[in-house]
Structure 1
Amino acid sequence: MGKKTRNRATRSEGSEGGNPRRPCPCGSGKRYKACHGAGDDVIVVRPFEGLAAEPDLVAMREFLPSATAALPLREGGPVTLASVLPGASAALVRDSGEILLGMQVQTRSGDLSADLAGALAWARSAEPGSSLPVVGPERRTGERLQDVLEPEVPLEPSVHADFAWWLPGGEPDPEAAAMLERANSVIMPTEAVAAPGVRGAYWVDTGSKGHIRWVRTEDEVTLMAALARLSGRGELELGEGSHYAGSFRAHGLLVPVWDVDREMHSSEWAGPAAEFAKRLDEVLAGLDSEPLTDAEHRAREVLAGKQITLR
């Protein structure tokens, strides 16, 4: 093996990165060879680790269609984080000087946290009315979100029913109106499940099913063990009208998913989600003192096979 090839195979974080036939550890769902395996970036599997905002950052990157949140910056003026910006831009500065950063962008960088910090640095010095299509290597400053955000402050995303916030004030011209119509046509109704002890949980109506997707920050092995114990007790569901469907991985975190009754409003799942959070916390606290039984080990294997693909 040549030196360059050998280095490329060993620089990614996580054992999956060096095998071109395995899924890329960045969480894109693509094969490593078709994703970050073609470049020389170090892949940071969990780019938002250490931030209280981590679960909502992952949600905004992966499945919130139209959402905005104020970034809890350590210093500097206000900055709005957006799930997606017009043209999937990495950043834009409005004529008013307002700065917006986009989460859902086209990139092959191995570190989304560094990309966002680079986009922020660009926006702070850009002229009003400018936009940044993509963050290239020349835009990275060496800083990451962990260097510019207050680590203990979570995000408070506002989930919108459409993309009207793209063009604040006034009537859009025909081209902008057509862009908004196209974007709005693909939005799936989505709302946060707001309850004490619940963060990173979102209800979505796909048109054929209702789901609750819940970004969890626990270590995957530990979380799967806890879910297996709840399954063995018959306590894995969120309540009547729900069914545990499986989970998917995103940016180093596991996201359990439940199918839920579409006829129930998202707010009706707040109480059941809070109760589930209490059950899960109790089980997580007892795992060290009470290892899994043989039946629970088998339940964990069954749950591990319930991997779903986010569409």
Structure 2
Amino acid sequence: MIARRPAPQRPGTRPSRVAAGSTAARRRSAEPGPDGPIGAIGVVGPREPCPCGSGRRYKACHGERSRPAPVLRPFLGRRDEPDLVALRELVPSATAPVILAADHLAKHPEHADRRITLCTMLPQAAPALVREDGEILVAMQTALPGLDASRDIAGALLAALDAEPGNVVDAPAASSPRLVEQRPDGLAGLPRLTDLLDPAPLEITVHPGFGWWLPPSDDDSGPNQEVAAMLERANATVVPTVRLSAVSAAYWCHPSDRWHLRWALPLAAPAGAATDPAATDPTAADRAATDSADVGDAARSEEALLDALARLAAAERLTVGPGTRFVGFFRADGLVIPVWDLAADTAAERCEEPAAALGLAYREALADPTPLTAQERRVRAGLVGRSLTLR
């Protein structure tokens, strides 16, 4: 994923004065601004200093058009939230069969027999496709994601359910800012992946390539030359990846001449937060706490998670085996993903036992109620300094 970072704003030199009775002073907006109603704030040119005195340009202050914010944790409420984040950010080629939720099937019984596979990526980064036999493939990684990955995937799945066999779903992201701004109910009116899928955790298969793009052939005939060339190019981009079995959402990978372990750690639902960030159901928070990852493994907050990592690092226990080195972490879709460098030629199987031991130590560190020591606070500051946020 490529981070999209807003350009830094250059503060103006001084606020402009709006003369009483001038055209600018007479123009007022009835819409609320960041500090309340902006009827008392004069309207000036977009590149002029804002009359509120903030020092920012008007277009970046009270003249800024309100836009819907991206959803921080699109898969909040799923027990397999860390694996869903990994499929979207870490894993190049993987598939997982899914079934539709009972509530959806009650409303659409015609979808009961549909075979659906959630996958990492499809040819040309398409959101979804329907094979000739009716099987649906829905991608986690697409070219132009919107404000909420969960709603984008759900929208692609619904479009595929209505599409004819043999078609590629190439609709824009359901939660693209342009489409959301046109909806009177905004993001809240769009279904999420959580609404459409059965809550059972995914059964993920990681593949060495994209051979699964091709449907099974009855006569064992291979693809034509053009398709074979496309598949060869796609396979050349795949980083060898293995999902560990001893712990959840930990992935060994071998990019070029390096070996890494990346582990998406679970977080509990924020206190008082609904399963759906755009929903208003007062019971949703309880469902989120129940449906999230196991309570013993899920930190109650990112702060608690970083405290636990700092305790382990200060005690020199933040390791996944001899010759490994913790190099930092990054944030993706609201979760923290620590990364370790592994010793050269370390096979994925050799990470299983150390990862399981680290998982137990991490759980103990999460349960430690004592404040961090001075040394642990220094270590924690160093960990935060080695972090990166993917957007």
**Same fold by TM-score greater than 0.5:** yes
| Residues matched between the structures, number | 277
Aligned to 2:201: 154
Displacement, 1:136?
3.6
1:292 is paired with a residue of what secondary structure? Answer: coil
Between the aligned residues of both structures, percent identity stands at: 42
Contact persistence 2:310–2:379 (CA under 8 A): yes
Between stretches 249-258 and 161-170, larger displacement belongs to 161-170
Contact 1:87 1:133 in 2 (8 A): no
Question: Which residue is 1:18 aligned to?
Answer: none
Cα RMSD (Å) of the superposition? 2.5
- Which of 229, 237, 240 aligns to 1:189? It is 240
Tell me, yes or no, if the aligned pair for 2:72 and 2:334 is still in contact at 8 Å: yes
**Residues 55-82 of structure 1: CA deviation (Å, up to 9, x unaligned):** 1111111121111011243143331011
Contact 1:81 1:100 in 2 (8 A): yes
1:107 CA displacement:
2.2
Which is further off, 38-47 or 131-140? 131-140
Larger radius of gyration: 2
Partner amino acid for 1:165? W
Report if aligned partners of 1:73, 1:150 keep a CA contact under 8 Å in 2. Answer: yes
CA drift of 1:142 comes to 1.8
Secondary structure (helix, strand or coil) at the match of 1:180 reads helix
SS at match of 2:222: coil
Tell me, yes or no, if structure 1 residue 50 matches structure 2 residue 101. no
One-letter amino acid of the counterpart of residue 262, structure 2: R
Tell me how far apart the structure 1 counterparts of residues 30 and 359 of structure 2 sit (CA, whole Å). 49
**1:216 counterpart = 2:265:** yes
- Superposition pairs of residues 154-173 of structure 1, within 5 angstroms: 154-168=201-215, 169=217, 170-173=221-224
Determine if contact 1:73/1:149 at 8 Å carries over to the other structure.
yes
**Matched residue SS, 2:356:** helix
Q: How does 1:17-96 map to 2 (within 5 A)?
A: 40-75=67-102, 76=112, 77-96=114-133
Per mean C-alpha deviation after superposition, the further-off stretch among 73-82 and 291-300 is 73-82
Specify the alignment match of 2:367 in structure 1: 285
Assess if the C-alpha contact under 8 Å between 1:205 and 1:262 holds in 2.
no
Confirm or deny: 8 A CA contact 1:248 1:309 kept in the other structure: yes
Counterpart of 2:155 (choices 115, 118, 142) is 118
Query: Which residue identity is paired with 1:135?
Result: P
- Work out the CA distance in 1 between the residues paired with 2:240 and 2:77: 30
- TM-score normalised over the length of structure 2: 0.66
Are 1:107 and 2:122 an aligned pair?
no
* Map of 1:302 onto structure 2: 382
- Give the 3 Å change call, closer, same or farther, for CA 134–262 of structure 1 in structure 2: farther
- 1:262 Cα deviation from its structure 2 partner: 3.3
TM-score, normalized by length of structure 1?
0.83
* 1:216 partner letter: L
CA distance in 1, matches of 2:232, 2:333: 31
Question: What runs of 5+ residues in structure 1 fail to find an aligned partner?
Answer: 8-32
Q: Answer with 212-221 or 138-147: which moved more.
A: 138-147
Tell me, in whole angstroms, the C-alpha distance in 1 between the residues paired with 2:29 and 2:338.
Answer: 41
Which SS does the other structure have where 1:199 is aligned? coil
**Alignment partner of 1:68: what SS?**
strand
Query: C-alpha deviations, 1:272-303, integer Å up to 9, x for none?
Result: 100000000011012xx211112111110011
